[in-house]
Amino acid sequence: MAIESIIYTEDQKKLLRIINARTAAMKRIVPPRVKDWVTMTDPEYNAVVEYCMIVHRVTSVIGDANYINQHGLNADGDFKKHLSIIRRVLELVFDDQAGFRDLLPPGTNRNFMRALAEMHDFSRFVFNNGKTIPIWIVDAWSSKLTKQVFPGMPEGYLHKLEWVTGVEKVPERANFALAFKAIDTVGKPGVEPADFYSPGGIYEKWKTRNAGHFPQRIPIRTGGFKTVSLEEFADNDRMLTERGIGIIDNIGDQGYFRNLILAAQKHI
């Protein structure tokens, strides 16, 4: 389904033109391909980091500067801090807990997790999600590039938008993806994990900020659409995040997840 058939407002059409121009520029940059995601080498990881930096540098200058700033189209300092927190949490729990390493195939090293942190929100290097871009477009770009970089990685190691929208069920063996989801959701600068879902916290602020972007029509791979309300999306997202927090706390102890996030925040 062409995205032009879903975006209607003039503002969204202008965003689409910028996205298309940035996408065309990005396609001229060949992404690295990891030969074996389980035993990913240091040079392969460095190539992923360099690729993300090049894409951001090339695409961030495409579009009217005032419009870009107004819509937050370029990845900013908070996004880079977010990536640093994710990487640090993954490194800490990977080194500290054999139970976490058991969520991955035997022999998996830290490079895969660190590279996945870089790639999981790849679209933000291109257009930083924008403010009115339909969320499925954002996810589709990140998923597509992640699969190109990790061609041998099976489904179930990275959380999917389809789980949040209810289009697909979470597979049975998705504990790593759910743990990663929790780290991705809560691992932001200045966030106290214990207050994330408290009244007036980040969760409620996100719902208020995005109320005007729902309901959204989400394309279904087999054809057609599903209309998703803000409440359904937010409730499913919270459920998946809390499942991931539980997985990490059960590997360590009660409060282990919170301590990991706070430790990583001090690292940035």
- Cα–Cα distance for residue pair 91/242, rounded to 1 Å: 21
* pLDDT number for residue 3: 43
**Mean pLDDT per 10-residue section of the chain, whose length is 268 residues:** 52 82 91 94 96 92 88 81 93 91 93 91 77 69 84 84 90 92 94 94 90 85 88 95 96 91 91
Length of the chain: 268
DSSP element (H, E) containing 125: helix 123-126
* pLDDT number for residue 15: 81
Which tokens belong to 80? 């880079």
- Cα–Cα distance for residue pair 250/246, rounded to 1 Å: 6
Q: Read off the amino acid at residue 258.
A: R
| DSSP conformational letter for 105 | -
Contact at 8 Å (CB) between 169 and 161? no
* pLDDT number for residue 72: 80
Taking Cα atoms as reference points, which of 44, 192, 31 lies closest to residue 114?
44
- Cα–Cα distance for residue pair 82/173, rounded to 1 Å: 26
Domain count, the chain: 1
- Which backbone phi and psi does 245 adopt, to 5 degrees? -60, -40
SS3 state at 60: coil
* pLDDT number for residue 221: 79
Q: What is the span of the domain harbouring residue 231? A: 3-267
pTM: 0.89
Write down the residue that tokens 């005032």 correspond to. 66
| Distance of alpha carbon 94 from the chain centroid | 19
- Cα–Cα distance for residue pair 265/263, rounded to 1 Å: 5
Task: Kindly write down the DSSP assignment for every residue of 182-237, as one continuous string.
Answer: HHHHH--TT--GGGTTSTTSHHHHHHHHHGGG-SEEEE-TTSSEEEE-HHHHHHHH
* pLDDT number for residue 129: 64
